[in-house]
Chains A and B, each alone.
Chain A
């Protein structure tokens, strides 16, 4: 069974003259335990798709299922609790609360839920992201790469069904970007997590198990474990047929 499935997903922003169809009947599914990338040119609807999949935004029509839960059947409160307990997030920027230390930021989803952290799991996650000696620091005292690693650790701490990442390396230099990608890759390969990542970067996409291509808010194609060359070709192809 797919971990995540979108059926006939549409999202229209605005009304009348100025209406923009950011997503237009997207059917796509994501298998559990794999590292997925979503690619497409700017404005093709990648972020919108991610937001709808993660239950951050309501689609105009169509359905999203995470596991066997239909997101459309949940009210805001239930949706929030689902995100809190079963979904992890890594955004491009501003992932962390400036007033909290790295440790507090990592434990935030559990703290909000009022749950005690599993000590062993916490140590394992912190060790995995290499932050053991930075736990007491605040975001303003950390580099961008370190901040993103804190964000990955926070996404992992609840052992979610799926982790969503929107251009997590977009703001990083290439070395830090590589490290963060490595962490996500390991989360899938070693911890059996499911990750869905929006990216522009074909080298990042090349490390994924599967790449979904969007064009003008529509599903265009998908490639399994593609090489960078295949990705470039596909993007060019997508562009060409777009004209």
Chain B
């Protein structure tokens, strides 16, 4: 029996390859993700380990005790017997970095660390130049320096959010990086005195190097006893850093595998459909086997073995493709924060998983088709089984489909929390899938009307062919429907929740320039507002502050546009104070001048916030140039002032919109790219179905060619058939996603400030165009096959 299976598989090599293509893609994604995240994990753990090079023992405090100025503690540590050297170390974020006298700012979430002047206690080594030995010297990571073109010897400016920028000389470059996920940020290494000055608070960590002959364990015990702070040895430090690094990599891997599961499910759809078609076409062969005495069980088993063979072949190819994918993933994922330079790792576990997924999914998907397809009575071999009667969809399926879809739609309509939306969406899609053999052909007829009018007889023929087996076209488009629904829902939600950037910028910006941190998380120094105000030539300055008032349990913000007068306030509706009442902030009663929607927020003027609060964060500054000053000139004036603030960047409205868009579009692009694999697999399914249909219609097509259909026309019929399938699937998916998105937006909008559905027509049009194009591509191979053989040979085909 096995040799028969292998011979059948060999004879149907194209079919086998086609059915395995979806397996290949699914396995490629899963194994590629695993290889990439294994590589990521080993890179992160290596980073974590080198971070403690040369450190024998580390002391870290939960917080700085107020009576200790740090100086005393380090002195005590250094006196402990067995300590060769000890150094306080800081690790600071919110760092601003610029060069060229401040004119060129390095954007990114930078990290600054300090190293001891003692090389024996430096965990970082210089790859070029040398490490900082004295105040005023710094080292940068090589990647940042070469990207920005900063040469050794250059003067750079570094600031932290509380301090003024200072100038340093770049004395060396290191191949260490900031570590972790962010690829943009620089690593800034400075000498301890500079760091102490910049930080302005004592270090919470002290690293220690042991004297010769003292073991780290001994030293840690001695230090713990002497200074009463938890001391951890090198190995302990490395282990806990590795653990958290592996944790990070695992989170990343799980997110990727989520997409992998989607891809594999799509592949399962396609495989099941392929087997259904293939077995339908083999009815006569199967019947013949039964006629000459094979049991049904034998035939069923042989189909499963065939599935296993195909699954195995697909897995092997998929692993190969996975390697390519793993090499390409870092570039694709860089914008969502994956580090570059990850070398994929192919582990034995990945190979096993890939094989198990490929073979398992193929066999499981083939199970149901195999059961149906082998339930052929032996007499079928004698009849004329070439014209298959399509089984109509069962009544039970239709009724349950209608019910499930109705419940899903109902849930979507009333959903007021995300869980209900997800449940409703799942039910609605499932219901649709059940109803699809009835719904899809009907929709195909509608979608194809305009084409039929345009394309004449050839196209009408294609459409008649498309719907001749309702189950088949339904299953084929279903995969596409699911894929498109996923992508379109994500797109709609993303575009709707992030109100269009222009509107956001319009709402925020009332002055010409907006000055904010160089990344979304970078804070800007408080004195920036003061400095700008001292320079009348830049124009009018509007700082925005943010602070939390514990007593009021509310956020206090600067009211930008429509600000209240000095000494009065705006409040959010959630505070329950009406116009004419008063709100007390830090002991001062502010008359309420207006009420805005929202939960617990008070808006005051910038001056009132500064007067009332000691520490208020400066979030941004808006600047309106003096009247009559040209944009370029105002810009130059402003930038000259900002040169002293490496972390602050000025935007006009158009630039700010670009920045908002860039962030959102990058994330959306990555998610879309990951989901598009599902759509690609679905389109492979379209190609599959078409190819198998072409095989099935060999004689019909030959007859058509005989009575005068040209090669071109025959190709056209197949393209039209593919096009109609793809468009129908895309349209259904889009409609479903609109329903889901509306429900989703409504459910999170709970109290008042509703999110409107924004339909990004441009993106949907692109989606449709891509589906159409891909469908046309998908029809190329089947069409070539259809016109390849001679008419007479095809007329004689069995």
B-binding segment of A31-39, A87-95, A221-229: A87-95
B465 A154 Cβ-Cβ under 8 A:
no
A89 contact set on B, CB distance < 8 A: 703, 706-707
* Least distance between B389 CB and chain A CB atoms (Å): 8
B457 A94 Cβ-Cβ under 8 A:
no
> Which single residue of chain B is at the shortest CB-CB distance from A76?
B711
A99 to B390, CA, bound (A): 12
A1 within 8 A of B: no
> Which single residue of chain A is at the shortest CB-CB distance from B709?
A112
B468 contact set on A, CB distance < 8 A: 98-99
Of B710, B713, B792, the contact of A57 (CB 8 Å cutoff): B792
B707 contact set on A, CB distance < 8 A: 83-84, 88-89, 108-109, 112, 154
B443 within 8 A of A: no
A97 B704 Cβ-Cβ under 8 A:
yes
A142 within 8 A of B: no
> Which single residue of chain A is at the shortest CB-CB distance from B389?
A140
Contact mask A50-82 → B, CB, 8 Å, 1/0? 010010110000000000000000001100110
B700 A112 Cβ-Cβ under 8 A:
no
B708 A97 Cβ-Cβ under 8 A:
no
A140 to B386, CA, bound (A): 12
A88 to B255, CA, bound (A): 63
> Which single residue of chain A is at the shortest CB-CB distance from B384?
A93
A85 B708 Cβ-Cβ under 8 A:
yes
B559 within 8 A of A: no
Quick one: which of A51, A76, A112, A140 has the most chain B CB within 10 A?
Answer: A112
Q: Which of B430-467 contact A (CB under 8 A)?
A: 456-458, 460-461, 464-465
A88 to B465, CA, bound (A): 24
A232 within 8 A of B: no
A114 B700 Cβ-Cβ under 8 A:
no
A111 within 8 A of B: yes
B710 contact set on A, CB distance < 8 A: 76-77, 80-81
* Least distance between A194 CB and chain B CB atoms (Å): 17
* Least distance between B458 CB and chain A CB atoms (Å): 7
Q: How large is the interface on B (under 10, 10 to 19, 20 to 34, 35 or more residues)?
A: 20 to 34
A128 within 8 A of B: no
B456 A114 Cβ-Cβ under 8 A:
yes
B703 A111 Cβ-Cβ under 8 A:
no
A100 to B467, CA, bound (A): 12
* Least distance between B295 CB and chain A CB atoms (Å): 32
A98 to B384, CA, bound (A): 14
* Least distance between B798 CB and chain A CB atoms (Å): 11
A113 within 8 A of B: yes
A94 B709 Cβ-Cβ under 8 A:
no
Quick one: which of B389, B704, B708, B791 has the most chain A CB within 10 A?
Answer: B708
**Secondary structure of the B side of the interface?**
helix
* Least distance between A43 CB and chain B CB atoms (Å): 13
* Least distance between A26 CB and chain B CB atoms (Å): 17
A84 B708 Cβ-Cβ under 8 A:
yes
B703 A94 Cβ-Cβ under 8 A:
yes
B706 A83 Cβ-Cβ under 8 A:
yes
* Least distance between A23 CB and chain B CB atoms (Å): 13
Q: With A98-B468, A100-B464, A112-B458 given, is the CB distance from A77 to B708 under 8 Å?
A: no
A94 B711 Cβ-Cβ under 8 A:
no
B705 within 8 A of A: yes
A76 to B713, CA, bound (A): 13
A95 to B700, CA, bound (A): 8
A84 contact set on B, CB distance < 8 A: 707-709
* Least distance between B434 CB and chain A CB atoms (Å): 26
A114 to B389, CA, bound (A): 31
> Which single residue of chain A is at the shortest CB-CB distance from B787?
A76
A57 B790 Cβ-Cβ under 8 A:
yes
* Least distance between B423 CB and chain A CB atoms (Å): 40
A54 to B795, CA, bound (A): 14
B711 contact set on A, CB distance < 8 A: 76-77, 80
B387 within 8 A of A: yes
B464 A56 Cβ-Cβ under 8 A:
no
B704 contact set on A, CB distance < 8 A: 97, 108, 112
A76 to B712, CA, bound (A): 11
B703 contact set on A, CB distance < 8 A: 89, 91, 94-95, 97
B78 within 8 A of A: no
A91 B795 Cβ-Cβ under 8 A:
yes
* Least distance between A89 CB and chain B CB atoms (Å): 5
* Least distance between B342 CB and chain A CB atoms (Å): 53
Question: Given A56-B792, A83-B708, A108-B704, 12 more contacts at CB 8 Å?
Answer: A54-B706, A56-B795, A76-B711, A77-B712, A80-B709, A80-B711, A81-B708, A91-B706, A97-B700, A99-B464, A111-B457, A112-B708
15 example contacts (A-B, Cβ-Cβ < 8 A) are as follows A51-B792, A57-B791, A77-B711, A77-B712, A80-B708, A80-B710, A80-B711, A81-B710, A91-B706, A97-B461, A98-B468, A108-B707, A109-B707, A112-B457, A112-B709
